[in-house]
Structure 1
């Protein structure tokens, strides 16, 4: 077991990422790990024949004795030293020495880290600051303290670091207000800057000022920056002789132009590319070189480059022979001896424009091919003026637009609405549209499907219950009426509500109050009811499964949601909408429906209405592939739909609906509360239609 423990210790020492060395009191090497042997270039068997004096030749026996005594007394010692390898090359190290005993032998264990590279870079950075005249600083915005390098102080001939703080340093520059603005933006908005500014006093200097904000989260807590003396460099950059050397060796055309438009200097390339000789360009102006440049344009252009420093734009430049070629011009502001100049670099981009033209032609060809492919679908060639009503209802047919008009009329009121229609026609969407355009839209729309809940749970869902009200009521439950207070409650499939619960619903409609199951307090609510059903409630009244008084409370403003077969104009746009929806979900590339697919959909009567259409398109997306959805096995077989016996003719439905509206207005036809206003018809037109349909007041009495 002891042997196993020693093996583990040896393994740990050998795998350390540092050099490890053990020495006795005489300085002889007792042990060294593999990393130390490799760094010095000795085999492990040879390293134990060395002493510390061969590894550190600068160390004397007296020095080792002092070191041994110090470590023995203090137990640990951290220091930097220089070591020598087998090839007599020196390198710097950082040593952590610890005194310990091993099997009654007193030893020093040294953990050694090679820092020659980091030391080199530190020295290099220190020397670089002096050589490059770069001084760094850091300003703590929390307490206003500042630290800096000695070179930063030297640049400004300062002795105290506090004179580098913003209130002091800005006054050392001629453009103090500009620097003040830059510093303020860095402190308050976190905007870095890098500018060269001229100092006050003598000797005059140009100092590059670079500042970068440091953030913690959204808080700017300090600034770090550098100052660099670039006086010599700036003077060279401001020398016209330098520009002369540059422009004469440039392939691009380079002009140096005075504010009045006189050509001060130019590159040799201006002669070769434009066809002029030197005599022709002497004392000429930009207006003579390019007639497209007017004095007014030039003045505005010059002011712009002075303000911005540099402006890039495209132009057509004229040769001496009158031909033109496209160029890209970069106009730069130069200042020399307190006079402004425009240094314009003009690059011939004829080849690039030719490449762009070829690319454009290729793209046009691709576009043409794409248009030809899309032209195979006649339905997509036509402009589809589809509109989305109430955010989520797609409609193009006039028949369905009339249904939406009723929604628009009743939505601003608090009137109870009964939506009838076949299953799958989107009655819930109409209910959402009524709520979302009502004055209650800021409050919730609560939905409950009376057909999906067991009879014993509907009452609890609607009105809530107290803990212990019935078996399984382990906690209080808030009902849907309480949740919908101030908003709208949508009762879907109202025909499925149990007959024994209908009186309690009627009470809420009449009095705006109800009792929780197991509760002792009557709760008052302000809820608008929108109900929907696909059943014939009148027949249910006759059968005794639906209360007549509840029906009339719900049927205040009836809206009949027409089936999809009565609004076939909407089938293509609805199908396209579902295609895009399910293509995205399935990761497919469908973009359109083929003409044959649309024809097949139009030929089908959709007994399941919009829900069936949606399911068909989803099935087709899963089965088919490509960018165009073609007909396939997913499509239902065409059927010759025959109206059921209980379907009415359009005239009969019109007649019944007008009678319902007249009953609602107490048979008032004209005026602000008349049926004509609700039907959005002229009163005379309504009277004529009533006469044609045989609607008389006696109809109400018979009903």
Structure 2
């Protein structure tokens, strides 16, 4: 088989389009010629002379109608653009470009191509060679992804605007301000129903609405009758028939379409979101979905996944065929060099001993060492030990099974650390009497970085939905100062930290403080509640799984450790992990590597581990319920977070902090906590620690109607046993007894159903005792003043 036959075979098997276009006569292209005239000649006299099936498929053409086509034929739809492209190719001699072209049937396609001019011995251009790919679907996918990401960002901004508003009108206006970013060219209004639900008031709208639809204007015709709209439904005005008692909507005036989305709370229709457009505008299905679920974000881009699988499948087929024929391509040096330069991959020929036989690449900066320093040497002589062993294992598996092997690996190169995807194929010829394989390596660093960012983005969105944060750690006692000192000492290191303490003491806040002060603070801190993970799913959640690893594993999933790469992972309730998971966790701590379920490949991670528990792990080790080696590995730097009863001096400061925080969130002007309430809080032993204190203060802020939180707003502190110092006095018991009587009668003091009758006392006596005990009389709640 001669060199032309081998090239023909390569062309015929490639999934990329290959072609030659040769001139009827060579032409000069320099300052001595009229380039416009030469370009006219080229567009008439350069013809397709050789083309492969992939090229024909791109244009939907038969070979007999494609061979002989000229540049003029290709760019009839835009001749000026075609001349610009050809001029740039002739000026530069080679060209990489994306162009808009037409198939034989006239449909448009996006083409990405690499083109190289041929010259004769005296420098005249004789034609050119091209490799091109149909990237139409990729471009559509990129545009769809851009629109989707924009939609997510606008929804996020809308959520922030809603969270920053406290009134129905403010929330409505925040929503209205972003609707046009989601549905361009629309006009919208939000109406709220009055008590009868017969009419409503527009509480927010766009300025361009008619004058009778401006904010605050009552308009029955802007809302739809309750019986015509079911909770959760959305539809156009045409969906509401007059027979269903629907009132007139604005589409009757403008002639344009309207989407009416009901606002439903607890199963009750409380208002309507109305979005309209001009008469020549039609809403899409996506816009109807946005109107109905404005506060939600879409889950996955199925279209993108399908396109990605198709591209990867085609790339795998191309690489397999290229690998099987690489050793057969022995054309002249200039032709081979041109083809290799156009390929995006690095091609290696490796013998059975793991030695480099041949290296073909135009991207030397992506080699671990220069090509001459690698050729003739074995993996173990030039590469890091772990990479060399993995490569040699893949070579042997390829030769033994005679099947393609796929692997991903990272390697230090002159261009910096890079990720690569490698594929192997068996060569059917021996070189120096040794079996050989072809190894094709592709730089996938950008894809890996995008995958990491996407995974972390999904995780952070989930965290934003669920996280409840009470702010910075508060405390001035000696025990808390010791905690702060420990955090400062260990934060700048990468050492494993074990945080010990009872439930509700703030172990997670300590972990977050360590992360925020560490060198990893720009990375993500991934939180895992080990106690909430079912034993059957814990391993998959922490370490990930491959597709098909078990029933229900329909796709590869990265574990929490991989999501935390170059960041921190916080393992809360680590003492709840099963023995099997403890073994894998120990390996990650020791080796910084893991294996997904169903995979035989090792994945390297760079993660700082912070663990927390409310158990006595030393006792758990003694009982055999926790591995001793894992305990010693976690217990490198323990931090004991004191319980709230051990730092009673911090209770008043914490209570004031929580009162201010919850008052700010709810929008109440609370200024202080009365002395009796603080005394009661300080005297309680807080078995639920800081979390219980926060819950009590949140309830007190809700109940408080004035500027001072009173003792009665605290409710009954009944969890756990009261501390000895908090034993109630007779005065405390009397105060609680009177407050329970008032609560039972709904605040009524006198009369046959009043608290005085219930207590067996006269109204004046009860009133006098209430004044003495500091109980706010009924009807004076709003006039409460701070008491010493």
What's the TM-score once normalised by structure 2's chain length? Answer: 0.31
What's the TM-score once normalised by structure 1's chain length? Answer: 0.35
Structure number with bigger Rg:
1
